[in-house]
Chains A and B, each alone.
Chain A
Amino acid sequence: MKTFINTPLLIEQLKRFIVIPLALLAVYLLGIIMPMHTAREGVSWTGADHFMALVLTHSHPATIFTMVAFPLIVAFALFPNHFNGVTNTAFAGFPVNKRQMFYTNVLAGFIMLVIPLFLLCLMLLVPVHLQHFRTEVFPVEWGVIQASSISHASRYLWPDGLEMIQQLNTFTIVAGFFLRNLLGIMVYFALGITAVSISGSRVVSIILAGIISFLPLAIVGLGWSIAHMYLFGFSTTGNFFIDEILYMMHPVMMSNVINDHRWSNAPFNSDYMWVLYIGYAVLTVVYFAVARFCCLRRRAETAGDSVAFVPLKNVLIFLMSLVGMIAMGVFFIMVMGGGRGAFYVGFVVGFVLVYFLAQMLAEKTLHVGNKVRKLPIFGGVAVGLYLLMLLVTNGFLWGYVTRVPGENEIAGIQVQHFWGSQREGVDFIAITDPDIIARTREIHQEIINERRSLRRLVWNAANTRWSWEMQPQPLPIVYYLHNGATVTRNYTLPPDFMQRIGVEDLLREEAVILSRFAPLHHPHTIAQIEIRLPAPFLTITEIKDAIELLQQGADEVRFETGWFTIHDIPWLEQMLAEGEILIRLQEHGIYDIVLREATTVITDPAEIRSLVEALKRDTAATGIIERQRNTNEVEWSAHPISIQANIHSYREGHDHTWTHHIRLLAFDYTLDWLMYGR
């Protein structure tokens, strides 16, 4: 240990920068602990719970800010010798070698960041425990909280829902928060150290920290957009989630990941969170390794230089110029009316402009006129890369682009825009209907045949400003082959083209629509179905009066219900629609249940099986309505209300349920089942 850490330097670094952990602690106190206490004292129980949920899921601005800003500040503070020659000389004169200097500073930074976090967690133990306590004492209040807050809090906070809340372990919750936060902090600390190890300028270090942190995203984003522009049909390869995983690898996304997926079953739900955490841990180790390498290799005379390694300086300049080139190319297409000419002019302007800006930054001077000599070399490399990409996209990958699996190879398919649905907790099942498979193959072949004309659309400036209705739509196609392989393509197509080649018709097929809802295909896995109806705003009498008034041609109808005022016709229409349902339900004697709870729960296996049949019909009809809405064949107002089916289903090997939310715009069969079928 002694060969890695220099104790006097460690003590001195901790003493010198004691103000940083104190400031961090102050932010924790003022931004988290005090507001938590204030919210608790207020009348709103849900406010306090909401606040705590935000904090513990790392979604609160104070937790995000401290996770990002403080580690970077610490990293920048601990290596002043990288920024200044005089400081560097003094530090290098101490009887400490570079390795000790690096590890000592890393340890100092870790201590400065972890102690305030640890203290915060100690302080959190009490409010988190009290939260638990209150669930036992005020079960009625928790009923309210459940509707607005517990469901907001992540399943990582209340893993098994309200019914399991009395088994909550305060220590586990806070320890989980501590470890997640620590991981996030370490990612940013390692990132900061990497930046200051590469650069000798604070400004460039900040830019570098930004560039490095967004590098995985930038690579994916840039690669995807270029490929899309030049290689129509190229998309994420093999695995649907490769870009999603890279996207989530970015530490800023940590809080979003936890938030976005708190109801999700893919790809990073509670079973998959470890993938994310391992990703972050690997990222941290990689950053530290790069930082260590740079710290040990950088020379004292580079202190204060924008980039300590000359080859990296050129790489940085080139990358910045390349990004400027692409950005300006796209900008020129938009402002100059489109076409390849505009794109290329933008390329040249962007590259040259950003090249000189990058040179100014790298050389720390405005006088970079002499760098014009190197411009042809940098430009040459860019042109070379461009030509290489054209060569690859126009030749080498044809086999990939034109591949449509043979009918006898295919075991099943998926064809659907699935991202949004999946995040709502929808599982897909593979479609095995031979007719659907054949039609999908035909459509796929048609897209490939038309790829040149489709690619030209990108160059048309008008297409960059597509109207909402004309917005290209994604069309993922997945083939599951008999040999266990998966062929994945994700196209983005103009709606009229999709209409012409029969995509719309395909997506309206019942088999395709229902493939999004796996539990409906496996009723035996369903433990419970909740049918949630729109909560009535008016009494039955008021609804009946309103219908009468409206039939008499009233432009405006007002009701004072003691807590509600209606004065808007679309609202009224919605309520009347709801009212009609309620009237029908009242006529069948189940009105009281609906009015009181607005939800009916079915748990009997036999009832579930028969309800599933009704749900399948309504789901298919709803899918058609949604597609019609997409193509403007149906007005939005034609189906003003929806009911929701929440399906709680089991999965093999898991001890808790997954919840699938199905929103039904057509619900005749479900209502009939409620009224007659039970």
Chain B
Amino acid sequence: MIKIENLTKRFDDFTALDGLNLHVKQGSIYGMVGVNGAGKTTAIKHLAGVYKQDIGEVCIDNTPVYDNIQIKARVGYIPDELYFFPFYTLKMQHKFMRRMYAQTWNEERYTKMLGLMGLDPKRRLGKFSKGMQKQAAFIFAMSVMPDVLLLDEPIDGLDPLVRKVVFELIIEDVAQRGLTVLISSHNLKEMDGICDAVGIIKGGRMGIERDLDDLKADVHKIQVAFAPEKTQDVEKYQGIELLHRETRGAVELLVVRGKHDEVEAKIKALQPLLYDHLPLTLEEVFVYENLH
């Protein structure tokens, strides 16, 4: 559904994206993560048709996105910084959006979401709090009934209740209509629960791109303890791809990359006194992958 191939984008002397590859299957929720300045927003703006690539290909349904009305009409996009027409009320913006997306606009959903969020349609959008503006943006983006939803840092400012409502709707659309979602976020805890696949961008390139389960299956958090004479010996981990090691007294906390069975066999061969496989969050995967 979404395909980015060898995308390169330079701003003057700065290379924001350097041969980025990204692939999102239809009907999946893709989490795009990366440190600040990694190029997440730049990548999303290419998908939204805002930026034109210097090199590479940016396609939705195998069709180039840039300046393409047909594709843009099928894309719902919530940027990190929101813009509404100055002095417009929610109602005025609603009228505009309804006209602009006349073919796909779902008035029923708009009314329903407006009821759930409890926003005042007669109030100026500029007077809304940041969170309320985000809610309004979600209402509009979801009421467009897009085939592709691009969310750039969508959770900032949303309270947990609204977050729940929004993600329930998104998941419902994914399940029922095959909506494809790409989320860029720092809030990895939230993404952990909903993403099917994850891409970690580093320095404008795709670091790792996997299904979330596969990703977690390849990175392991293990708690081990050895006899005192072995504790300080780091050499013992030779042959194991160690992403992180932390010592807490006699206990060592390891984050290791590799197949689960192989990792377990290698560590157990070292005859630990204690061996525990701990659950790993997406946030930890992200942190340790980036530290490495």
Contact = CB atoms under 8 A, between A and B. Distances in A.
Contacts of B52: 299-300
Given A95-B72, A95-B73, A97-B69, A89 B96 contact: no
A11 interface: yes
Interface residues of A, number: 22
Contact of B79 (A16, A86, A95, A299): A86
> Which has the most chain A C-beta neighbours within 10 Å: B11, B51, B99, B100?
B100
A172 B77 CA distance: 53
Contacts of B102: 8
Contacts of B86: 16
Given A8-B99, A300-B50, A301-B51, A89 B83 contact: yes
A98 B73 CA distance: 14
Contact of A16 (B50, B51, B81, B85): B85
A235 interface: no
Interface in A72-99: 86-90, 92-98
Interface in B82-116: 82-86, 96, 99-102
A89 B48 CA distance: 9
Contacts of B218: none
Size class of the B contact interface (CB-based, 8 Å):
20 to 34
A100 B69 contact: yes
B134 to A, nearest CB: 14
A435 to B, nearest CB: 71
A98 B67 contact: yes
A542 B82 CA distance: 86
B49 interface: yes
Contact of A94 (B45, B70, B79, B100): B100
B68 interface: yes
B50 A97 contact: no
B164 to A, nearest CB: 26
Interface in B137-194: none
B101 A300 contact: no
A641 interface: no
Contacts of B69: 95-97, 100
Interface centre among A11, A16, A89, A98, by most B CB within 10 Å? Answer: A89
Contacts of B70: 95
A156 B196 CA distance: 76
A299 B52 CA distance: 7
Contacts of A93: 48-50, 72, 75, 77, 79
A300 B16 CA distance: 15
Contacts of A407: none
Contacts of B49: 92-93
Given A8-B100, A97-B67, A90 B73 contact: no
A9 interface: yes
B95 to A, nearest CB: 9
A409 interface: no
Contacts of B50: 88-89, 92-93, 300
Contacts of B68: 97
A92 B73 CA distance: 11
A12 interface: yes
Given A95-B72, A301-B11, A86 B101 contact: no
Contact of B45 (A8, A11, A300): A300
Interface string A643-660: 000000000000000000
11 contacts: A11-B99, A12-B100, A86-B82, A93-B48, A93-B50, A93-B72, A94-B100, A95-B73, A97-B67, A299-B52, A300-B51
Interface of B: 11, 45, 48-52, 67-70, 72-73, 75, 77, 79, 81-86, 96, 99-102
Given A86-B81, A92-B48, 7 more contacts: A8-B99, A9-B100, A88-B50, A89-B83, A95-B73, A97-B69, A299-B52
